Structure 1
Amino acid sequence: MSALAGILVFVTFMEYSDLIKLEVPPYVYEGDTITLRCYSHPAGYTVKGVVFYKDDKIIKSSTSNINLHLEHVTLNYTGQYKCKKKLYYTQDDFYTAEAFITVKGLFPSPQIKVTTHLVLEGDNMTLTCNTFLNPLRQKRELHFAFYKDDQNVQSFSLSDQYEVQFAQLKDSGKYYCEVTTSNNRIMKKSAEFNIHIKNLFSAPELKVNPNPVVEGDLMTLTCSTSPSPLGQLTQLLFTFYKNGQNIQRYNLSDQYTVQFSHMEDSGNYSCKVRTLTNSVKKLSKPTNIQIQGLFPSPQIKVTPHLVLEGDNMTLMCNTILNPLRQKQDLDFAFYKDDQNVQSFSSSEQYEVLFAQLKDSAKYHCEVTTSNNSVMKKSAGFNIYIKRNSGKLSRES
């Protein structure tokens, strides 16, 4: 009898251990909402209590609900699940069923890819946020966003691409993208991708010749830039500005010339360089150019200071050449009441022998360079010839 009783106890244990089952989905992916069912088998047993565990930690207990709902699961939901139940018409012990659930990725972490490994200024650059949905969840909708140096540059949308038209040096930076499901339950971020935009040509520098510039000089401004090794064949156009106003339209010449510079040509100059397609533009720093005077405006001086009738009178047209241009030739001319009395010549003097009362007048002089590039006029100088009373007494 004792041996038979032992056999009956063993059979009873096996039967009770099969009384419950833990039903789980065959495939589980990130973002899924799943239901775990702890049911009695065969049916007919009344539930006295149900407890659900994950990795031996209680996650839910109920007196009657045999279902466990898990919404929008993530990879962290992977683990060993089990349920324990108390049933009427059985012993008071709990009966256990177990199942291991593996949550699979809905899509892998994205990767940033660029159309061309080497991006030059002016190139059209396209970034792609590469990932793919699991074949069993192809109907899910993904949204993509792009960031540069942690600043959002394209908000979430259905497009997995971000385009930069005519990339500039300022577009260099660390880029990454994020991918999310339409309900924002699953979000993944790519690693950062460092993009360095290569120079097409160097920033221009304005060069002046001669330096310093003196009145009358041929002033040449050169917009100096150097193409990078990758931009040797790029054709460039140049333009020039004075005090922010354009003084020469874009053309192929990198020079702007002033034939005979004058004081009013002083100012802040800059130049700009661009490609034929206008995809890359660069502006030089402003250069302040101050034109130096070749010589100051002349002054009339007369000797003697007091001129009497019959005196020899000499007018001097006084000026001084700039020390930088001492070899410059100057010509002088003299005027009486705006009538020319001595044409331009190298002489800075005008002489009146035996001055008469009629020589009283307003005199001025003009000074010019040999090529007439610079001409300056003195202020008028009034000369009054005084009557010589001693002379009159002798004549009488």
Structure 2
Amino acid sequence: MDITLHACYVCQTNRILILIPFTGLLPKPNITVNPEVVGQGHNVTLRCEIPDREYTVFSWYKDNQSINCSAGFRCSEDSPDLHISFAEENDEGNYSCSVTNPVSNNTSDAVELKVYALLSKPNFTVNPEVVEQGHNVTLRCEIADREDTVYSWHKNNQGINCSAGIRCSEDSPDLHIPLAEVNDEGNYSCSVKNPVSNNTSDTVELKVYVRVSKPIVTVTPEVVKEGDNVTLNCNTTAGNHLTYTWYINSSEPKCGDHYECSNESSELIIKAAKPADAGNYSCTAQNRLNNETSDFTSMTVYYGPTSLTLHIPADTCPNDWIDWFKVPEAVCVHENSSLKMSCEAQSLPQSNYSWSFSNATYTGVLIEASEVEMYNFNKENDGNYTCTASNDVTGRDSSQSRYLITYRKYHNLGF
């Protein structure tokens, strides 16, 4: 039924009756919000909707307080719209509108306006910072505004199922790993989402540390000879994410051309071992939980024979004798004299020695020793005397020779 009210007015001058029509009683207005989901910095329009706007005056309220159509709000009494430019968090609240005409008024139900923040990149934290095997760990996806935020988690770029030993939910910023194990290690990230935006954290590597056991130093090869390349290994039965420090006689070696080593490697490589490399070796293995140091391992470097020296107490022959016999460095021995010859070399283990003799009529070994003693030296003893030093471990030997010649005092070559 169309209900139209009329007002009766009488003009006093001419006594004319004027009837002015007015619309009916106003129904309760309905507020609509456009867009329905409002993000921070977006423009939003609230509309106070009624069927008939003729002769209607509009007014707006936020949290039951009248709104001044300025200071960020654009509205007027003759418009059903309230405009908010660049909405911010402080624009949130319960909005209502009232409508009034000459015969009635009505007020809408309140509508809550939410202004959702544009989510920034979450900050990812791990507690405790150092995670030990068998201990609980919590990963937190931190953002400034958690309202209406949905969380999701990823490990090695794969979505995490919030079960199977991992406790998490869409409405919680925390991911809990009870009794962490090494297989929980990986690259973790989290994503956040609200009705107007989403963002993802940087990736954080989770390491689960195992306590380090006492290391043992091994040497390869077991028998080290001069010139060998040697590998020492710092072996542990437990521990991960380890760094290593090496010691030779309690001092750190200088890693470089001779010693090949680094904190990240369990190996110390010695290139072309020298006798000076012999000593007591130890290592320390460590991670962020603890460190352990090995016992000393003694390494011996076998070498030689080198620097073989002959000791022959006799005179150097005159030059004309050397020219005659055509033997450089010949040694002249007094006829019928006694002679004690010896030789020595640098070697580890100590060298084995032998003396051999050769001339035009005989070749053979004189003695298996470092010394040889001769009596009544005569022309039959003239010849080449050789000392040989040998090392059973290195498999090496070294020889030196001298040619001995008998001579009489006042003897000349023409006699």
TM-score bracket for the superposition, by shorter chain length: 0.3 to 0.5
Of Structure 1 and Structure 2, the greater helix share is in: 1
What is the TM-score of this pair, normalised by structure 2? 0.44
TM-score normalised by the chain length of structure 1: 0.46
Query: Larger radius of gyration, structure 1 or 2?
Result: 2
